[in-house]
Amino acid sequence: MDKKEVDIVLISRQYEDFDYDPVNCEQTEVLSVGTYEKTADGYLIEYEESEATGFEGCTTKIESFGKKKVVMSRRGNVSSELVIEPGEKHHCVYGTLYGNFEVGVEARKITDKLTDEGGRLSFSYVVDVNSGLIGTFDIDIQLKLR
């Protein structure tokens, strides 16, 4: 499959605890145009960040390896890479405009319903710094070919 242009709807929910309490939830929705291609192990989604996300000037890549793993990386004004893999805790570098810091990332689940025609990728993970909970995150990405 060649690289294709897609409409992307990305919904991110951040919870302050493990309980998925909707009262303590911050939700962000990003609508973007990006590219989508099949890789040897899954699919690669790529898009440019906007001023609305606070990461203008950055390119975000989300690589899906089926239900085994998701790797999210951002390059540009800041750099970061998060590895979400069930059964593993990864220590990752998260870059912000104020500096980089190391976080622990543990997957809760990955649901991969991507096909050559687009589809949906959802995953949730817990982030901590020095074993202190930062938040629980749910990411839901919907792709539609243009």
Rounded to an integer, what distance in angstroms lies between the CA atom of residue 136 and that of residue 134?
A: 7
pLDDT tens, the chain, 146 aa long: 789 999 999 999 998 876 666 667 889 999 999 999 999 999 999 999 887 777 888 999 999 999 999 999 999 988 899 999 999 999 998 887 788 889 999 999 999 999 999 999 999 999 999 888 888 999 999 999 99
The pLDDT value given to residue 18: 65
The pLDDT value given to residue 72: 95
Count other Cβ atoms within 10 Å, centred on residue 137: 19
- Amino acid at residue number 90: H
CATH number at residue 34: 2.40.128.20
Contact 101, 92 (CB under 8 A): no
pTM summary value: 0.90
Work out the burial of residue 14: count CB atoms within 10 Å of its CB; fewer than 13 is exposed, 13-18 middle, 19 or more buried: middle
Range of the structural domain that residue 116 is part of: 4-145
Number of domains in the chain: 1
